[in-house]
A and B are shown apart, each in its own frame.
Chain A
Amino acid sequence: MTTQLSKLMQSLQELHGRSFRPAWQPAVDIYRGEKEWLIKIDLAGVRKEDIEVIGNDHFLTIKGQRRDLQIQEGHQTYSMEISYNRFERNLELPVDVKDASMQIDYQDGMLFIRIQTEEKP
């Protein structure tokens, strides 16, 4: 019992404190419109469900992971330039993103985030 409990505790702790630093950072374009901010993120080949967007005060965090899903039996990697595995990108914006209304689209490998502002920033 004791062993089981301690094992459980350990695995919990490990999960929590696990240090998975991101392996790569996606490229980002930021635009400012009349009443909105538009953020474009290059996330080609990343599945929609593998993307996570978190807003907190003035910070916007986009993170997730790219998986190599086209691994073919009998293929050998000849050369590789695309980064797979975890990515993370932190953006600091002049608006509080927590309360702002946000619209997120994912289309053709690009993630579009629109943040509405009351007036022209």
Chain B
Amino acid sequence: MKELSTRTTLPVLPIQSEVLFPELGMPLVITRSASMAAVEVALSSEDKSIAIFTQKSADIDDPGEKDLYDVGTMAVIKKMVRFDHAFRLEVHGVSRIKHLGMVLSKPYLNSNLRYLPELSDIGTEIEALQREMIELATKMFSLVNPQIQLNLSFILSNVEKPVSQAYLLATLLSLDVEKSMLILSANTQRELYELMNGYLHHEIQVLELRHQISSQVESKLGREQREYLLRQQLRIIQEELGEERPEQADVTELRQKLEKAELPEKVHKEVEKELNRLERMSAVSPDYQLTRTYVELAIELPWTQSTEDQLDLDHSQKILDEDHFDLKDVKQRIVEHLAVMKLNPSAKAPILCFVGPPGVGKTSVGQSIARAMGRKFERMSLGGLHDEAELRGHRRTYIGAMPGRIIQAIRRAGVRNPLLMLDEIDKLGRDFRGDPAAALMEILDPAQNFDFHDNYLDMPFDLSKVFFITTANTLDNIPKPLLDRMEVMRLAGYSDEEKAQIARLYLIPRRLEEAGLNSEKLSINNEALSYIIRRYTREAGVRELERTIGSIARKIATRVARGDDAAVIINPDMLVDILGPEHFYAEQARQSLAAGVAAGLAWTEVGGDVLYIEAALLAEGKELTLTGQLGDVMQESAKAARSYIWANAETLKIDTAKIRKSGVHIHVPAGAVPKDGPSAGITMAAALASLYLDRPVRNDTAMTGEITLSGLVLPVGGVKEKILAAHRAGIRRIILPKENKKDLTELPEHVQQALDFVFVERIDEALLAAIVSISDASTEQKAVVV
């Protein structure tokens, strides 16, 4: 058999970016004229052989010998189709070749070549390398796509020779030209496999990294997409079942509510608009909840609903009397208002401010008023409120926006004319977020509050029918413009007798009921009650008293529950057993006063108090020392008192040398409590006069009043509390500025009876009334005794 010529000169077909390996096929499209000429020559040979070399750079159009790698592949053209300006070929690699030199035979190249031997080195190591290659390739393809794995073993089984398998893998890996050329140029199997294993390793690492990254991205995307898909499916299922979407059901329900609610036309329109928006929204959108809450609020607000006022004056009066003892002013004011309402139904509601110490019943009187008038009662505490938005609401654009407390209270009340109690208005805070007091001014002004504008609601709401009552412990902290809008009603503290009455009428029955007892099982006699009031409580109101009574009731209830059913009447002797030792020693009038000590009267937020002002002479000292946490006003008042005494030493028969040569120290106990105000001026003057004269002040006398340097006595505040405190302490005689005489009408009858009042206009009158020897010695009794 004659061998086919193993020709050593073949036409050259340069290819770009690809490498043809032996035993593998490759489709090619030839367009370059030189290449087409080379192919024509190959096709007209009897063996259709051609030399295929890869270009070193893909960019070169007309490559010469130097532009080609020197190792290539002898190939046979298996199929060919001619087009106008191109050939499509299928070539099949047959053998590795190396060109020894090229001849340009216009227009193509001819190569003088040498056939490279087959890779024939063998050994166990080579076999191990080859198996490693197959394993790596399997792993790699499983990373690309698990399905290819099956195909790979099939593909590889078609290629018998391991070397050819390596070439096949190199093609499948689509390595770049340089790496492919290294593979093709490998002259031993060992070299070939080592190269391949290196490339496979690298490829696996890259793939693993890619997997890691893409799986991270996928898991992120996955959740949201899943949710979206599920929702879409849910929607389709619901449509299929003929069910409404939940949001649609929501809107329908709201629309029904809207039709039922009697809203003003403007509001109706606005709500309708919001509802239409809501209808188009998806329930997942964050705006949905926001709009829904808003619509609900707008529908639920009592735009037109109101309660009918209870205008039977006698009935109202009865209710007020039932609920509270005394408080005549307040009750009277309410009844007056009801009378006005009866005659003029469109009258504006007054805005009241109840001022008084804790526990005097400010809040509960509010509840009682609501009951008497037949109005809904809502209360909110303003204590510590420091953000204007709390009152007026946040704009709807904010996340978590809510209507203000006022609108919320109205909504809770369900009517537009409730009695709205704003507690602790004197404890409003303020900071950089705004001043709630300023917002309150709009709310509490009947001329403005008919179109109160809540930021959240964004529609005016009429507050003019709301009966506002505010409460405060003191007026000092209320801004003046705000105070100006309110009608202030003082609820002063109660006297011991009033407390006893309150206890009898309200506290004891209530506490007995709470403890499950009745008046047959437990009663408290009068002495015990007043003992409790004096020795176990010290307050202007009755809270502590009520707690103490509650504590007695519980102790007795324990006894009854244990089986001791005997009726108990509490008398003072039993109190130590039940309540423990006395909590307070009553601010008893001191039995004897040394010279330089005078009883003053003080007003505190929890009622009045008696305080003894003590003065001591410091021989050879000079200064005036003041102690006892005195405020500026009180210190100045002390200086004025001293200067007055000094200036009038002669009239008062005081030795000026004594004043000049010695210092004086004034102390006001209790030293831990800060004190201020001018009302102790008269007391300090009395203490100093007594000191310099070395004659004591009368021990049954207390005094209060502001003084001037010229000797006038000016009126002071809190007289009722002060007198009640003096009365409690056992003082019999009180020196007051003449202008405070009118305040005595506030006092209970029995207190007025029990005390002597001395009204003074000038300090010397007060001193005469206060200091024993002067008043005794004086034939001219200037002071007026009532």
Q: Which one of B110-118, B401-409, B434-442 is at the interface?
A: B110-118
Contact with A along B92-115 (1 / 0, CB 8 A): 111110000000000000000011
Chain A residue nearest in CB terms to B77: A80
Interface residues of B in 22-80 (CB under 8 A from A): 22-23, 40, 43-49, 76-80
Kindly identify which residue among B40, B96, B114, B164 contacts A77, using a CB–CB cutoff of 8 Å.
B40
Docked pose: A86 CA to B49 CA in angstroms: 10
Contact A77 B44 (CB under 8 A): yes
Tell me the complex Cα distance, A101–B434, Å.
Answer: 116
Contacts of B23 in A (CB 8 A): 21
Q: Tell me if A80 and B80 are in contact (CB < 8 A).
A: yes
Which residue of A18, A64, A81 contacts B115 across the interface (Cβ within 8 Å)? A18
Q: Is the CB of B115 within 8 A of A77?
A: no
A90 to chain B, nearest CB (A): 9
Please give, as numbers and ranges, the residues of chain B lying within 8 Å of A20 by CB-CB distance: 6, 94-95, 115
Other-chain contact of B93, A21, A67, A76 (Cβ < 8 Å) = A21
Give complex CA distance A4, B114 in Å: 18
The reply to whether the CB of B82 lies closer than 8 angstroms to some CB of chain A is: yes
For residue A64, which residue of chain B has the nearest CB?
B1
B120 within 8 A of A: yes
Q: Do the beta carbons of B94 and A86 come within 8 Å of each other?
A: yes
CB-CB under 8 A for A17 and B44, given A77-B80, A79-B82, A86-B94: no
B93, closest chain A residue (CB): A21
Residue A50 at the B interface, CB < 8 A? yes
**How many angstroms from the CA of A101 to the CA of B678 in the assembled complex?**
146
Partner among B1, B92, B114 whose Cβ is within 8 Å of the Cβ of A49: B1
Decide: B22 and A14 in contact? CB cutoff 8 A.
no
B47 and A14 within 8 A (CB) = no
Q: Is the Cβ of B114 less than 8 Å from the Cβ of A52? A: no
User: Which residues of the partner chain A approach B94 to less than 8 Å between Cβ atoms?
Assistant: 20-23, 85-86
Q: Which residues of B contact A22 (CB under 8 A)?
A: 94
Across the interface, B4 reaches (CB within 8 A) one of A13, A51, A65, A77, namely A65
Q: In the complex where A20-B6, A51-B1, A80-B80 touch, is A14 in contact with B92 (Cβ < 8 A)?
A: no
Residues of B within 8 A of A52 (CB): 1
**A contact residues around B80 at 8 Å (CB):** 77, 79-80
Q: How far is the CA of A17 from the CA of B118 in the complex (A)?
A: 6
With the chains together, A84 CA to B46 CA distance in Å?
8
Max chain A C-beta neighbours (<10 A), residue from B6, B47, B81: B47
Q: Does A2 contact B (CB under 8 A)?
A: no
**Is A71 in contact with chain B by the CB < 8 A criterion?**
yes
Contact B82 A21, beta carbon cutoff 8 Å: no
| Residues A84 and B116 in contact in the complex (CB < 8 Å), given A64-B1, A76-B40 | no
Residue A99 at the chain B interface, CB threshold 8 Å: no
* B742 contacts A by Cβ under 8 Å: no
- B562 to chain A: closest CB distance in Å? 110
Let me know if A85 and B4 touch, CB within 8 A.
yes
Give the interface residue-count category, chain B.
20 to 34
Contact partners of B220 in chain A: CB under 8 A:
none
Flag if B95 contacts A19 (CB, 8 Å).
yes
B2 sits at the interface (CB 8 A) = yes
Q: How far is the CA of A50 from the CA of B40 in the complex (A)?
A: 25
Give Cα A80–Cα B93 distance, bound, in whole angstroms. Answer: 17
Q: Are B49 and A79 in contact (CB under 8 A)?
A: no
Whether A78 pairs with B78 at a CB distance below 8 angstroms is no
A5 touches B (CB below 8 Å): no
Cβ contacts under 8 Å, B120 to chain A: 17
How many angstroms between the C-alpha atoms of A76 and B39 in the bound complex?
Answer: 11
The closest CB in chain A to the CB of B22 belongs to A21
Do A71 and B46 form a contact, CB below 8 Å, given A18-B117, A19-B95? yes
> What per-residue 1/0 map shows which CB atoms of A66-89 lie under 8 Å from chain B?
011101000111111101111000
B2 and A69 within 8 A (CB): no
Q: Which of B46, B49, B77, B115 has the most CB of A within 10 A?
A: B46
A24 to B25, CA, bound (A): 11
Q: Which of B1, B92, B118 contacts A19 (CB 8 A)?
A: B118
Bound Cα distance from A52 to B1, whole angstroms: 8
B364-420: which residues lie under 8 A (CB-CB) from chain A? none
Residue-wise interface mask of A (16-42) relative to B, using a CB-CB cutoff of 8 A (1 in contact, 0 not): 011111111000000000000000000
Complex contacts, B44 vs chain A, CB 8 Å? 71, 75, 77
User: How near does chain A come to B42, taking the closest CB pair, in angstroms?
Assistant: 10
A24: B residues at CB distance < 8 A: 76, 78, 92
Contact between A69 and B46, CB atoms less than 8 A apart: yes
Q: Which of A14, A64, A68, A79 contacts B114 (CB 8 A)?
A: A14
Shortest Cβ distance from residue B158 to the other chain A in the assembled complex, whole angstroms: 11
Residues from chain B with a CB closer than 8 A to the CB of A83 are 76, 78-79
Using A21-B95, A23-B92, A23-B94 as known contacts, say yes or no to A67 and B46 having CB atoms under 8 A apart: yes
Contact partner of A14 (CB less than 8 A), chosen from B4, B46, B76, B115, is B115
Q: How far is the CA of A17 from the CA of B188 in the complex (A)?
A: 13
Whether the pair A19, B115 counts as a contact (CB closer than 8 A) is yes
List 13 interface pairs A-B (beta carbons < 8 Å), by A numbering: A14-B114, A18-B6, A20-B95, A21-B95, A22-B94, A23-B94, A49-B2, A75-B44, A77-B80, A79-B80, A83-B78, A84-B47, A85-B49
List residues of chain A with CB under 8 Å of any chain B CB: 13-14, 17-24, 49-52, 64-65, 67-69, 71, 75-81, 83-86
Task: Identify 18 new A-B residue pairs, CB closer than 8 A, beyond the known A23-B76, A80-B81, A84-B46.
Answer: A14-B117, A17-B118, A19-B115, A20-B95, A21-B164, A50-B2, A64-B1, A65-B47, A68-B46, A71-B45, A75-B44, A76-B82, A83-B78, A84-B76, A85-B47, A85-B94, A86-B4, A86-B76
